[in-house]
Amino acid sequence: MKKFAFLLLILAAAGSFKLAAQGCGGPVSDEGLKMFGFIQGQYEFQNSEPNNKSTFSFERARIGAQGVIPYDFSYYVVLELSPFISPNPYLLDAFISYNRFDWARISVGSFKTPFGLETNTACNGLITAYRSTVTLQTVAPFRDLGMVLMGGNENTFLTYQLAIMNGSGLGRFDNNTKKDIVGRVVLKPLDFLKVGASFRYGYPSLNNTKDSRTTFGAELQANYKNFTVLGEYIMDQGDYNRDLGGGCSGNLIELGDKRSGAYVTAAYLVESLKLQPVFRYDFFDSGHTNNYKESNMTFGINYFFNDWTRLQANYVYRTEEPAEIKNDEFVLQLQVKF
């Protein structure tokens, strides 16, 4: 509790500065501190006979602050409060940005790894309750410490991010003498279409500068009227750090030297009913000698009470090779942003 109170005190003290930053906090003015956050209350039923799982939980519960400091600097801080993620609140994101040049902004601190579409979609903006298996298993660490150079925005033909990062994960000192190089480029050839590519190269294991890791990704986003299609392919090979965990939820499964997968998500917003039916297909090949593979189909529907409150209902049908596991899941998630 003392740590939690101290972190909240830091957030409150930031109110003496002027504001405007980027991230899942949304757009802000330059007139003062902006506090933001979201809560995702969740019910899960997992068909894993004879030990079915049925529970209420908080998928995430986050609070943050962002603002600007004259001249050209901004800050962004987020805490994770969900006891189902960690028994103690902890610092999730914390970075300082220099924004003088639109095409050469620099951020330093703790932030999301700038790899891939799904990774860099805010948790409160995901169309489905969970991210795909390939994202969870191949992008880890989702968050890291480092420095990123970036340019462009939602309205420009080109956006890019190029980062130098520890590669050791959130809140950890670097565990070797090397740094990870991570980059992402997105092009917008049409108003409704974006295509992009990502890469990462690094040395993830403790004091091991011989076994490297290389990751490549390709992505597509199409938003035409009320119809949305999202797709991504990721290939990851080489060494990996099993202590990093599988993204922001779950654990890394046993991986081989070369692993890959992809997903395609389609959704249509029926504005008059405030409903959005959703379907996603994703697959993942672990590349392990046990030939473990999985494919999943997510059937869902989102209901928007207003701009800040959303209800998601997802049924996830999972199949595995070489032996299928009973682990289909129904998820009901109520989200409030503030």
**pLDDT tens digits along 48-68:** 877 888 999 999 999 999 999
Q: Is the pLDDT of residue 3 over 60?
A: no
Residue 19 confidence (pLDDT): 33
Residue 170 confidence (pLDDT): 86
Question: Torsions phi, psi of 104, nearest 5?
Answer: -150, 55
- Taking the C-alpha atoms of residue 255 and residue 284, their distance in angstroms, rounded to an integer, is 11
Question: Torsions phi, psi of 230, nearest 5?
Answer: -125, 140
Instruction: Among 17-26, 74-83, 176-185, 191-200, name the one with the lowest average pLDDT.
Output: 17-26
Residue 289 confidence (pLDDT): 87
Asked whether the CA dihedral 329, 265, 83, 337 is positive or negative, the reply is negative
- Taking the C-alpha atoms of residue 167 and residue 332, their distance in angstroms, rounded to an integer, is 34
Mean pLDDT score of the chain, rounded to an integer? 88
Residue 146: is it exposed, middle or buried by C-beta count within 10 angstroms (0-12/13-18/19+)? buried
- 104: its two tokens: 């050469």
pLDDT (average), residues 198-204? 93
Residue 109 confidence (pLDDT): 96
DSSP H helical ranges for the chain: 2-13, 133-138
Which of residues 10 and 57 earns the better pLDDT score?
57
Contact 38, 338 (CB under 8 A): yes
pLDDT (average), residues 188-212? 88
- Taking the C-alpha atoms of residue 14 and residue 158, their distance in angstroms, rounded to an integer, is 33
Cis previous bond, 50, omega within 30: yes
Residue 249 confidence (pLDDT): 56
Asked whether the CA dihedral 168, 108, 22, 232 is positive or negative, the reply is negative
User: Residue 194: which pLDDT band, with cuts at 50, 70 and 90?
Assistant: very high
- 326: its two tokens: 């009973």
Express as a percent the part of the chain with pLDDT over 70.
87
pLDDT (average), residues 3-31? 44
- Taking the C-alpha atoms of residue 58 and residue 40, their distance in angstroms, rounded to an integer, is 6
Q: Is the pLDDT of residue 116 over 80?
A: yes
Residue 85 confidence (pLDDT): 87
Which of residues 260 and 176 earns the better pLDDT score?
260
Residue 247 confidence (pLDDT): 57
Residue 25 confidence (pLDDT): 64
Which of residues 9 and 97 earns the better pLDDT score?
97
User: Residue 250: which pLDDT band, with cuts at 50, 70 and 90?
Assistant: low
Rg (the chain; Cα; Å):
20
- Taking the C-alpha atoms of residue 159 and residue 156, their distance in angstroms, rounded to an integer, is 7
**pLDDT tens digits along 63-86:** 999 999 988 999 999 999 999 888
Express as a percent the part of the chain with pLDDT over 90.
72
Amino acid found at 117: L
Q: Is the pLDDT of residue 20 over 80?
A: no
- Taking the C-alpha atoms of residue 30 and residue 18, their distance in angstroms, rounded to an integer, is 6
- Taking the C-alpha atoms of residue 331 and residue 43, their distance in angstroms, rounded to an integer, is 6
Asked whether the CA dihedral 113, 148, 23, 4 is positive or negative, the reply is positive
- Taking the C-alpha atoms of residue 214 and residue 207, their distance in angstroms, rounded to an integer, is 18
Residue 164 confidence (pLDDT): 97
Q: Is the pLDDT of residue 14 over 50?
A: no
Domains of the chain and CATH, by start:
1-100 (no CATH), 123-337 (2.40.160.10)
Dihedral through CA 13, CA 18, CA 22, CA 27, nearest 10? 110
Residue 30 confidence (pLDDT): 66
Residue of 302, 305, 311, 296 whose CA lies nearest to 278: 302
Amino acid found at 292: Y
Q: Is the pLDDT of residue 245 over 80?
A: no
Q: Is the pLDDT of residue 32 over 80?
A: no
- 22: its two tokens: 């980027």
Residue of 111, 55, 110, 47 whose CA lies nearest to 84: 55
Q: How many CB atoms lie within 10 A of CB 209?
A: 10
**pLDDT tens digits along 120-161:** 999 999 999 999 999 999 998 889 999 999 999 999 999 999
Q: Is the pLDDT of residue 311 over 90?
A: yes
